[in-house]
Each structure stands twice: as structure tokens, then as C-alpha cells.
């Protein structure tokens, strides 16, 4: 990933975090890393543990950011979530959900869309 892409990605993750907080979610972890990869955001939405993938694009030229989350990425997120749960001794019977936050930076306008339970 280039430095510019990293900066854009981090900015999108900050916007996503603010968006989730404004909607009442409690952020538990950001950019959690292990050998298998990284989880962007882990949050709690009431009793539900939420694993959030954030996708940010600078324009809609190649479609909305959420379209970049395909089957392989969803599979990897599920594996990472299992590792996060094991590392944090989270309860076995917790309800979990996989969300995507799509951030589109369009010049003077910024669009943040929270897609719940899409993975």
C-alpha cells in the first residue's frame, strides 16, 4: 500500500469510528493485528459484538467502497474475528455481527454509510 493510500485509509477509519460512536456503538479495538491480518474496528452495539471492515475510496469512479469487500475478504474477516475472540476470552455465546462502513471522499463532500450485518 502506498503512503497516500495508507493516509486515506486511516482517515476513513477515523471517520468510521466517529460515525459508529455517534450511533451509540462502543469501540473496543481499532486496528487489531495478528499474524493472519488486521481487524479495522471491533465494537459493541448493545449486547452484540460487531466486527467492522472499513473501506475508503477517494472517488466513486470504481464503484462504492463496500463493493471491495468480496467473499475472500469476508472469509478472512471471520477467521480474524475467531482469533480476536480467542485472544480476548470473549464469551462463547455472544451474538456477533459483521458490518462494513463505506467511506467515499468526493472532493468537498464525504459520504459515510454503515451497512449492518452484510458479511
**3-class SS string, 31-89:** EEEECCEEEEEEEEECCEEEEEEEEEECCCCCCCHHHHCCHHHHHHHHHHHHHHHHHCC
Count structural domains, the chain: 1
- Where do the DSSP E strands lie in 47-108? 48-57, 96-106
Q: pLDDT (tens digit, 0 to 9) for every residue of the chain, 119 residues total?
A: 578 888 889 999 999 999 999 999 999 999 999 999 999 999 999 999 999 999 998 877 777 788 888 899 999 999 999 999 999 876 567 899 999 999 999 778 899 999 999 98
Could you tell me the CATH number of the domain that includes residue 105? 3.40.1350.10
What residues make up the domain containing 33?
Answer: 3-115
Strands 109-115 and 48-57: unpaired
Structure confidence at residue 90 (pLDDT)? 66
Structure confidence at residue 94 (pLDDT)? 80
Amino acid at each position: 500500500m502506498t503512503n497516500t493510500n495508507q493516509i486515506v485509509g486511516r482517515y476513513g477509519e477515523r471517520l468510521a469510528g466517529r460515525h459508529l460512536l455517534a450511533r451509540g456503538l462502543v469501540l473496543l479495538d481499532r486496528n487489531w493485528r495478528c499474524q493472519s491480518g488486521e481487524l479495522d474496528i471491533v465494537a459493541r452495539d448493545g449486547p452484540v459484538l460487531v466486527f467492522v471492515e472499513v473501506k475508503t475510496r477517494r472517488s466513486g469512479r470504481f464503484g462504492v467502497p463496500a463493493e471491495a469487500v468480496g467473499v475472500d475478504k469476508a472469509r478472512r474477516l471471520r477467521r480474524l474475528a475467531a482469533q480476536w475472540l480467542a485472544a480476548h476470552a470473549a464469551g462463547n455465546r455472544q451474538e456477533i455481527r459483521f458490518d462494513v462502513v463505506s467511506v467515499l471522499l468526493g472532493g468537498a463532500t464525504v459520504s459515510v454509510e454503515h451497512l449492518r450485518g452484510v458479511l
